[in-house]
Copies of this chain bind each other. A is one copy, B any other.
Amino acid sequence: LQRHSSNNPKVFVKSILDGDIRSAAQLLTLIERRDPAALPLLKALYPHTGKARLIGVTGPAGVGKSTLINRLTEDFRKKNRSVGILAIDPTSPLSGGALLGDRLRMHQHFLDQGVFIRSLATQGAWGGISPALFDAIHILDAMGKAFIFIETIGVGQDEVRIAQLAQTVLLVLAPGMGDTVQIMKAGLLEIGDLIAVNKGTPLEGRQLAQQLQAFDQNHPIVRISAEEGEGLRELSSQLERELQKIDTFSCKKEFFAREELQWLLYEKLQTKGMGFPFTSELIESVARREKDPYEIVETWGR
């Protein structure tokens, strides 16, 4: 935080509520670092949240999610709706997350003041999901963004969990990508309220769409080319239809609150050392098979 704002949290909070990009970016940096200075600000912002519509965008890497979000953002902007984009980057424990820059540059709306784009490096244990993700959503929400895209990097367990936080999930697939069959088999189609088939020739796209439709008759499947703008009108109108569903909106809020409490609590347990109360001597004795881990955990806390 800059001196003037840290001295006056109220001013800082107000500037975020007014949609100020720099203040929001500063706070996002704090929450990424898990800096305790963020806490009073997050508390002050929280009552102003819960208005944004979260749209999870998931699908295998390379399927064109960023390009599609660009297109949909264009559409929202024409209707004068403000948009937030959170690109989740589950940073490898081993690298510094080199994917971020590439993805940001893909967004043509990077310079539009009505669009706030942020990649979120969620380091640590749990793939892309972490308390920082919830905080980041609240910040964009408090900024007044009507729609927040949450873009995952691929499609897997963590990504499903992230997408499920959103009220509306857009699953993007493409013909000829090996993962599609696995996605179908693993039941991941069901997470998409709406499925977009991107890339490939029109024939390939139609074939995949038919294949998917045979597998899943519950959700609209639209064949598009995000690059060339094909099928986007239909996708937009299907998306609008999904976004009208008020029921989903409120029921997801409780799910979201529950998940958030769980993650905050787990973070607290870890930070306070309550999450790992065992000494290195004890660990060594388990590693040497002098003690068994079951007994230790069973008797812990008694």
Binding site for B on A (CB under 8 A): 39, 42-43, 46-47, 49-50, 60-62, 90, 92-99, 102, 125-128, 134, 153-154, 156-158, 160-161, 177-179, 182, 185-188, 190-191, 250, 253-254, 256-258, 260-262, 264-266, 268-269, 275-278, 280, 282-284, 286-289, 292-298, 300
Q: With A and B bound together, what is the CA distance between A92 and B282 in angstroms?
A: 35
* 3 interchain residue pairs of minimum CB distance: A95-B187, A127-B157, A46-B292
Q: A156-B156, A265-B276 are in contact. Are A287 and B257 (CB under 8 A)?
A: yes
**Distance in angstroms between the alpha carbons of A212 and B49 in the assembled complex:** 46
Given contacts A99-B182, A257-B293, A266-B275, 11 further A-B contacts (CB under 8 A): A43-B295, A97-B186, A98-B186, A177-B178, A253-B288, A254-B280, A256-B287, A257-B283, A261-B278, A261-B296, A269-B269
B49 touching A264, Cβ below 8 Å? no
Kindly list chain B residues whose C-beta atoms are within 8 Å of the C-beta of A49.
Answer: 289
Instruction: Quote the shortest CB–CB distance from A166 to chain B (angstroms).
Output: 15
Report if A42-B185 is in contact (Cβ < 8 Å); known contacts: A265-B276, A269-B269.
no
Among residues of B, the one whose C-beta sits closest to the C-beta of A294 is: B43
Nearest-CB distance from A133 to chain B (Å)?
13
Question: Which residues of the other chain, B, contact A43 by a CB distance below 8 angstroms?
Answer: 292, 294-295
Q: Are B264 and A61 in contact (CB under 8 A)?
A: no
- The 8 Å CB contact of A294, one of B46, B94, B287, is B46
Min CB distance A251 to B, Å, is 9
Known A46-B292, A157-B90, A161-B125; contact A99-B186, beta-carbon cutoff 8 A: yes
On whether the beta carbons of B300 and A283 are closer than 8 Å, the reply is no
Q: In the complex the two chains form, what is the Cα distance from A277 to B258 in whole Å?
A: 11
* Contacting pair A178 B289 (CB below 8 A): no
**What is the CA–CA distance of A282 and B250 in the complex, to the nearest angstrom?**
15
Return 18 A-B CB contacts under 8 Å, by A number. A39-B294, A43-B292, A47-B292, A49-B289, A50-B288, A61-B178, A93-B160, A94-B188, A134-B293, A153-B182, A177-B178, A253-B287, A254-B280, A257-B284, A258-B276, A261-B278, A261-B297, A265-B276
Residue of B nearest to A122 (CB): B157
A254 adjacent to B187 (CB under 8 Å): no
